Structure 1
Amino acid sequence: MSDRTGIFAGDDPFEIARQWLGEAEASEPNDPNAMALATVDEQGLPNVRMVLLKTIAEDSIVFYTNYESAKGREIDGQGKAAMVLHWKSLRRQVRMRGLVTREEGPEADAYFASRSLQSRLGAWASEQSRPLASRQSLMAKVAKITATKGVSPDRPPYWGGYRIIPLEIEFWADGAFRLHDRFVWRREKIGDAWNILRLNP
């Protein structure tokens, strides 16, 4: 009989993740949706950085970035990524890894339009991850973009979302004496039934 009860109970890992995120939103002091995103370059050298999770959908998670950034180039090159949400206030984390597709349709347009004007103008001005001569040159470019794009800039063609469709999801909760609780949901390919295992801490 499974001992997957309490905070681990449920038949839908995305719903469990949404519940945990909801709890973190009430207890975490800053950015409960901040996640570490891991990618690899064409030589297989890994990169990791913090990004903001925007949506836990029915079968995936979505975040937004510049497609021409280092992370964007690595995701487009490999089609795979991994992430972790870690909440110190809850002493819990969620890890996912899987396949990645772009989210660049109406949903991306709607999210871009919902951002502050300064963030939208910044997305047009920043050549993310590429060398920058000075902050002054960046601010000058922002001023130029502001003059040309006005108060309602559309979404840049090189900016949008990425959707991670996981093949593996792990839920981790802190336990006494470092005897943590860990449950991993795995599947061979998208659409397969999940196989759920308890892991040693």
Structure 2
Amino acid sequence: MGSQWGRDGYYRKARTEGYRSRAAYKLLDIQKRFQVIRRDDVVIDLGCAPGSWLQVLRGLTDEQVIGIDLNPVPPVEGAVILTGDFTTEYIREKVGAMITEVNVIVCDAAPNFSGNKSFDQARSVGLSEEACDFAVDFLKPGGNFVVKTFHGDMFHLILDKMRRNFYGVKVYRSEAARKGSTEVYIIGKKFKGRRNDSEG
């Protein structure tokens, strides 16, 4: 693993430019192509560890940035970080007490993989759907949502869910993704509002 990371240009670039992981360039790539975040947007980052997306977000918006992760994340200047499960009522209540409107939600989270391809893909899609549920509950109408998932037999489930809730939906593979990975991002723009979510 160490040799693979050592040869990775994005990994070396992240170390040079002060980002905590190469994933920073995935968000920068998405922002360059889709302009999902504006200077006056309040943004929530689901599954924010190790914090590289928070670092990028702090450079993209002047408004509040909140990160949520199951594990403690070292502080990122200018960001509020909550430790906990974003699917729980406890975290949802904490978020609701902090902000009244959310413009953008991003999620680069992935489950711990077991090596069983179909099982792992199901877990990945399930996590993406939970992130979408969170977005449906907190985004203001017209807001944007970016979520990572993986191609496979169940991919259509999260794609269909996104299309029910956003006027514009694009599937994008970042140039910063590792070769051979089935990782993609679904970008949802212009949230329709909760009344359009057929699953409630």
For the criterion TM > 0.5, the same-fold answer is no
Q: Relative CO higher for 1 or 2, CA cutoff 8 Å, sep ≥ 6? A: 1
Q: Which has the larger radius of gyration?
A: 1
- TM-score (norm: length of structure 2): 0.21
- TM-score (norm: length of structure 1): 0.21
